[in-house]
Amino acid sequence: MSTGQAGPPAPQGLMGFVHRRRRGAELVLLILSLVVGIGAYAAVGLGVDGTLPVNLFTYGAWLAGLVIACHVVIRIFAAYADPILLPIVSALNGIGLAMIHRIDLARQASRPSSNGFADAQLVWMTLGAILFVAVLIIVRDHRRLQSFTYTFGLAAIVLLLLPLLPGIGRTINGSRIWINLGPMSFQPGEVAKVLLVIAFAGYLVLHRDALALAGRRFLFVDLPRGRDLGPILAMWLVSLGILVFQRDLGSSLLFFGLFLVMLYVATERPGWLVVGGVMFAAGAYAGFVALGHVHARVEAWLHPFSPDVNSFQLVQGLYGMGWGGLVGRGLGQGQPQVTPLAWSDFILPSLGEELGLTGVMAIILLYGILVERGLRTALICRDNFGKLMATGLATVLALQVFVVIGGVTRLIPLTGLTTPFLSQGGSSLVANWVIIALLIRISDHARRPPPELVEPDEDYDADATQVVKIR
């Protein structure tokens, strides 16, 4: 922007200003986030063994190297991107790694033969960062993704079906949502959720006008037309299928909620929320009545302390959080390992025990800021596809965080989902890094000053191709 010129306000920027790059702010925040992450790792060593961990330097250097590399790539390939997203992810990931490491130590103290999860998690984080960089380099304009609408949609469905195939599908902890990949297992649903956001966005941006046509009016709300119910019905059935055949309450809820929110945003019709809400209620009630595993979850939620309800994990998590109180026992000073899956689904109660309500609030606020920055990106994005995609990506994060944290703190019935960036689990971590990469790509596009029209010459011909200068 040339500030020296007099005359009318600069035409660039619809709202009269141009976003600054703010890369320096990002770097400062990143360093803060590294202080938190590496500091937590050091505190775990001090709390458990009384000394700093021997590998503190290499660990810290590795973590710092990863996020600084991501920062450099953003500087080069997405210079206008939202500066807050990466630091939040870095902080959450660092806290998660420290806590997983801390629970590894506790488990190995009682059973020296048990394997640690923290090293694998660091490898997965590295893979996530690599994918993050790859997405930013390969996807230079998110609108190109729109041409893969149906490819991604199909791929997502295949991925969702994979765990059901005999041979490669695996059932872990009652849910059939895993596939064997050599020595590791992988949750294809985590990748599917990213693909689904893109597919939904591509589909809805094309069909939003038809889907927005009003049907019958009921209690101040225009309901959609009956003939347009096809897509939502299909999504409803897919979600029910996941619930029944894969016994995965969390993903089922996540996918349907995601579709509903995107449909609402695309059509601007609250009527869809009514229709979707009714369908959700019907599905949830049917599941509660017909499916034993759903019924058990609701029972454990309502009567966790009743002796004949299977709620050991939930209750241990609550005990841990109660034991943590306002300021926590301190890293390494509690007993988070008492809770089953304290390092994955129940990592938040583990953090609540050792960092207290203070830590839990900080973490929830980090998620809140992450989601709202995603939605902010959607607001300022100039194309509809980008708007929908950003909304979808932010919604996936919001729903997942709400469902899992709400579940482990007994706000809602417990459903198995990972806590983004915190929980141990490779597929989830990698998928969430890709989500952030896409959000950064869209926000870069949205915050980048719009192309400047070159002033036409005297013999300006209206039909001539406009010359556009790209910054």
Which of 53, 271, 320, 413 binds other proteins (CB under 8 A)? It is 320
- Of residues 85, 253, 360, 438, which one binds other proteins by CB under 8 A? 360
| Alpha carbon distance 277, 113 (integer Å) | 48
394 scored as a contact of other proteins (CB under 8 A): yes
Q: Is 206 in the site for other proteins (CB under 8 A)?
A: no
Q: Give the one residue of 106, 254, 371, 429 binding other proteins; rule: CB under 8 A.
A: 371
Closest CB 339 distance from other proteins, rounded Å? 10
409 is an interface residue for other proteins by CB under 8 A: yes
Q: Which is nearer to other proteins, 151 or 333 (CB)?
A: 333
Contact predicate 426/120, CB 8 Å? yes
* Gap between the Cα atoms of 10 and 18, Å rounded: 10
Stretch that binds other proteins, among 97-105, 111-119, 140-148, 333-341 (CB under 8 A): 333-341
The secondary element (H helix, E strand) that includes residue 172 is strand 169-172
446 contributes a contact to other proteins by CB under 8 A? no
Residue window 253-272: x/- pattern of binding to other proteins, with contact defined by CB under 8 A: --------x--xxx-x----
Q: Which is nearer to other proteins, 287 or 334 (CB)?
A: 334
**CA angle, 160 as apex, 157 and 166 as ends, to 5°?**
120
Q: Does 323 bind other proteins (CB under 8 A)?
A: yes
Q: Say which residues have a Cβ less than 8 Å from residue 50's Cβ, sequence separation at least 6.
A: none
User: Which residue in 83, 271, 324, 332 binds other proteins (CB under 8 A)?
Assistant: 324
- One residue of 67, 155, 378, 414 binding other proteins per CB under 8 A: 378
Exposure pattern of 376-406 as b/e (b: 16+ CB <10 Å)? Answer: bbbebbebbbbbbbbbbbbbbbbbbbbbbbe
d(CA 433, CA 384): 23
Question: What tokens appear for 337 in the block?
Answer: 């390992």
What is the rounded radius of gyration, in angstroms, for the C-alpha atoms of the chain? 24
Site mask, other proteins, residues 339-358, x = CB under 8 A?
-------------xx--xx-
CB contact at 8 A, 391 and 261: yes
Write the burial class of residue 251 (CB in 10 Å: 0-12 exposed, 13-18 middle, 19+ buried): buried
* Among the residue ranges 38-46, 114-122, 227-235, 368-376, the one whose residues contact other proteins (CB under 8 A): 368-376
Q: List the interface residues with other proteins, window 127-146 (CB under 8 A).
A: none
Distances from the Cα of 227 to the Cα of 114, 211, 213, 230, angstroms: 56, 9, 11, 7
Q: Which parts of this chain interact with other proteins (CB under 8 A)?
A: 261, 264-266, 268, 305, 315-316, 318-326, 334-335, 338, 352-353, 356-357, 360-361, 364-365, 367-368, 371-372, 375-376, 378-379, 384, 387-388, 391, 394-395, 398, 401-402, 405-406, 409-411
